[in-house]
Structure 1
Amino acid sequence: LGARVDQLDQPETRRAGMSGYLLHFEIISVHLLVVLVGAAYLARAKRKSNPLPA
Protein backbone atom coordinates (compact mmCIF):
# COMPACT_ATOMS: atom_id res chain seq x y z
CA LEU A 1 0.00 0.00 0.00
CA GLY A 2 2.30 2.83 -1.11
CA ALA A 3 6.00 3.45 -1.23
CA ARG A 4 8.39 3.20 1.66
CA VAL A 5 10.16 6.41 2.59
CA ASP A 6 13.61 4.88 2.19
CA GLN A 7 12.77 3.76 -1.35
CA LEU A 8 11.71 7.11 -2.82
CA ASP A 9 13.81 8.40 -5.69
CA GLN A 10 14.78 11.86 -4.44
CA PRO A 11 16.03 13.42 -7.72
CA GLU A 12 12.89 12.28 -9.56
CA THR A 13 10.69 13.80 -6.87
CA ARG A 14 12.42 17.17 -7.12
CA ARG A 15 12.34 17.19 -10.89
CA ALA A 16 8.62 16.41 -11.04
CA GLY A 17 7.70 19.46 -8.98
CA MET A 18 9.94 21.97 -10.72
CA SER A 19 9.91 20.95 -14.37
CA GLY A 20 6.79 22.55 -15.76
CA TYR A 21 6.28 25.63 -13.62
CA LEU A 22 9.65 27.27 -13.03
CA LEU A 23 9.65 29.37 -16.21
CA HIS A 24 6.04 30.43 -15.65
CA PHE A 25 6.85 31.42 -12.08
CA GLU A 26 9.81 33.54 -13.20
CA ILE A 27 7.79 35.29 -15.90
CA ILE A 28 4.93 36.09 -13.52
CA SER A 29 7.30 37.34 -10.81
CA VAL A 30 9.09 39.71 -13.22
CA HIS A 31 5.72 40.92 -14.51
CA LEU A 32 4.48 41.64 -10.99
CA LEU A 33 7.70 43.51 -10.21
CA VAL A 34 7.21 45.72 -13.28
CA VAL A 35 3.58 46.35 -12.29
CA LEU A 36 4.58 47.37 -8.76
CA VAL A 37 7.28 49.73 -10.00
CA GLY A 38 4.81 51.27 -12.46
CA ALA A 39 2.20 51.71 -9.74
CA ALA A 40 4.75 53.41 -7.48
CA TYR A 41 5.74 55.71 -10.35
CA LEU A 42 2.14 56.68 -11.05
CA ALA A 43 1.31 57.20 -7.36
CA ARG A 44 4.21 59.52 -6.60
CA ALA A 45 3.53 63.19 -5.94
CA LYS A 46 3.71 65.45 -8.97
CA ARG A 47 6.13 68.37 -8.71
CA LYS A 48 5.45 71.65 -10.41
CA SER A 49 8.24 72.93 -12.61
CA ASN A 50 7.31 76.62 -12.19
CA PRO A 51 6.88 77.79 -8.59
CA LEU A 52 4.20 80.39 -7.91
CA PRO A 53 5.47 83.99 -7.59
CA ALA A 54 5.40 85.36 -4.06
Structure 2
Amino acid sequence: MTDRVKSTSATEAKGSVKEAIGKLTGDARVEAEGKAQKRQVQPSKAAPRSK
Protein backbone atom coordinates (compact mmCIF):
# COMPACT_ATOMS: atom_id res chain seq x y z
CA MET A 1 0.00 0.00 0.00
CA THR A 2 2.76 2.47 0.79
CA ASP A 3 4.35 1.87 -2.62
CA ARG A 4 1.15 2.93 -4.35
CA VAL A 5 0.81 6.01 -2.14
CA LYS A 6 4.40 7.04 -2.79
CA SER A 7 4.10 6.62 -6.54
CA THR A 8 0.77 8.45 -6.57
CA SER A 9 2.14 11.42 -4.66
CA ALA A 10 5.30 11.42 -6.76
CA THR A 11 3.24 11.46 -9.95
CA GLU A 12 1.07 14.27 -8.60
CA ALA A 13 4.18 16.25 -7.61
CA LYS A 14 5.66 15.80 -11.08
CA GLY A 15 2.40 17.06 -12.55
CA SER A 16 2.46 20.10 -10.29
CA VAL A 17 6.03 20.87 -11.29
CA LYS A 18 5.23 20.51 -14.99
CA GLU A 19 2.22 22.79 -14.61
CA ALA A 20 4.27 25.44 -12.78
CA ILE A 21 7.09 25.31 -15.35
CA GLY A 22 4.54 25.67 -18.14
CA LYS A 23 3.05 28.74 -16.46
CA LEU A 24 6.46 30.32 -15.86
CA THR A 25 7.72 29.73 -19.39
CA GLY A 26 4.40 30.41 -21.10
CA ASP A 27 4.39 26.92 -22.64
CA ALA A 28 0.71 25.90 -22.78
CA ARG A 29 1.55 22.33 -23.83
CA VAL A 30 3.72 21.63 -20.77
CA GLU A 31 1.15 23.29 -18.51
CA ALA A 32 -1.63 21.13 -19.98
CA GLU A 33 0.49 17.99 -19.57
CA GLY A 34 1.01 18.81 -15.89
CA LYS A 35 -2.70 19.41 -15.31
CA ALA A 36 -3.56 16.15 -17.06
CA GLN A 37 -1.00 14.25 -15.01
CA LYS A 38 -2.45 15.64 -11.76
CA ARG A 39 -6.00 14.83 -12.87
CA GLN A 40 -5.00 11.26 -13.72
CA VAL A 41 -3.86 10.68 -10.13
CA GLN A 42 -6.87 12.16 -8.35
CA PRO A 43 -9.72 9.73 -7.63
CA SER A 44 -13.07 10.35 -9.18
CA LYS A 45 -15.30 12.43 -6.92
CA ALA A 46 -18.43 11.06 -8.61
CA ALA A 47 -17.81 7.52 -7.40
CA PRO A 48 -19.47 6.77 -4.06
CA ARG A 49 -17.33 5.44 -1.22
CA SER A 50 -17.98 1.94 0.04
CA LYS A 51 -18.34 1.52 3.77
| TM-score bracket relative to the smaller structure | 0.3 to 0.5
- Structure label with greater radius of gyration: 1
**Which has a greater percent of helix?**
2
